[in-house]
Amino acid sequence: MTAKKSSSSSKSPKSSARKTSAIGLDEIQSSELAEKLNDLLANYQIFYMNTRGFHWNIKGEKFFELHLKFEELYNDLILKIDEVAERILTLGYTPMHGFDDYLKTAVVKPAKNVSDGKKAVAAILDTFKVLITKQRILLDLSDVANDEGTNALMSDYIREQEKLVWMYSSFMGS
Ligand SMILES: [Fe+2]
């Protein structure tokens, strides 16, 4: 009885059996994080293209204000897209890079020919809700995995986007 117990514990203690990546993170957790980051990336890419469309097509008395706001937003999104993709590479995985894959993966749908300012802002608010929710899941997962890099990134994105939600909601008068 005693011999059996000692042989099973020396064989494969759970902690040392798990493989770690080049940056010392658990490989299974890294793979799950990379998959979720790729899903986030796909949603960001559609959001980016939608925001460019809003920037181009907006009409009406708020044109100058919103045209600039949307440019500010898509410039920020392009930076985040690059950071998310490079975080996936840092974790040891390949960032999704085909628009066909983005369209298949993203829950954010392409918004076409939106020229009304309030409709554009409403679509942006809906998208932020999707992104923030996904980022909170990544925040929790990266916390469990001790992945400080992804955790800090998600924490920054959530804080910044929550503030934007407040500002865009104020524009909508709510
Ligand atoms: Fe422009």
Q: Over the stretch 23-80, which tens digit does the pLDDT of each residue have?
A: 999 999 999 999 999 999 999 999 999 999 999 999 999 999 999 999 999 999 999 9
Give the largest Cα separation in the chain, rounded: 83
Q: How does pLDDT run across 84-93, given as a tens digit for each residue?
A: 999 999 999 9
CA of 48 to the centre of ligand 1 (A): 13
pTM score of the predicted model: 0.89
The predicted pLDDT at position 18 comes to 85
Tokens of 85: 């993709």
CA of 86 to the centre of ligand 1 (A): 26
CA of 148 to the centre of ligand 1 (A): 36
- 166 burial class (0-12, 13-18, 19+ CB within 10 angstroms)? exposed
CB-CB contact of 138 with 33 (8 Å): yes
The CATH class given to the 24-172 domain equals: mainly alpha
**Measured in whole angstroms, how far is the alpha carbon of residue 2 from the centre of its chain?**
50
Report d(CA 127, CA 80) in Å as an integer.
Answer: 15
Per-residue pLDDT band at 20 (split at 50, 70, 90) = very high
